[in-house]
Amino acid sequence: MNKQVQNLDQPVVHKRRNYLVNPSFQLPFLFYLSFAIMFGLFVIYLSNLWYFETIISQGREIGLDPDHPYYLFIEDQRILLKKTYLIVCTVTFVALMVLGLLLSHHIAGPLHCIKNHMIRISQGEFDIQPVRLRNRDFFVDVADCLNEMVLALRSNETSQIASTSEETRQK
């Protein structure tokens, strides 16, 4: 673990630069997110195809000739929409994946930090720095509870040591 020298006047700032803190959580999260995004965009694309097929069939129903400018206009609009749709889908997919990575980072990062503290506590290390998370992180309340638990364990340990030494002195 990277130890930082702390000036007591300034709070310690922890910046996580590795956005894949917990790949076993984050990669499936991003996979499911990408699947949901692609499914939504595919449904929108299918609805546009249905729309164009509907207006083409309406032209056939009123008896327009297949070479009528109406069909050329519709085909031009379909091509334009496909190009626009491809650009919008690409930008949307990339933007939502970046946001998904940031969201998963704000979930996995705090959980990783809390897990590491819990491992140290389970090994009997009660003299550890409190868990400090960023304001935008999830699970700040869990970190606060963990910090309170460590303080209570330290207090219990100190009182047990004091009572043991008192008993030893009395004997």
pLDDT of residue 13: 54
Q: What is the dihedral of CA 93, 20, 105, 23, to 10 degrees?
A: 90
Binned average pLDDT, 10 residues per bin, the chain of 171 residues: 43 64 91 95 94 95 94 94 94 95 90 91 85 87 90 79 70 65
Burial 94-123 (b: 16+ CB within 10 A, else e): eebeeebbebbbbbbbbbebbeebeeeeee
Contacts of 131 by beta carbon, 8 Å cutoff, 6+ apart: 113, 114, 117, 143, 146, 147
139 three-class SS? coil
Against a cut of 0.85, is the pTM above it?
Answer: no
Domain ranges of the chain: 23-164
pLDDT of residue 125: 83
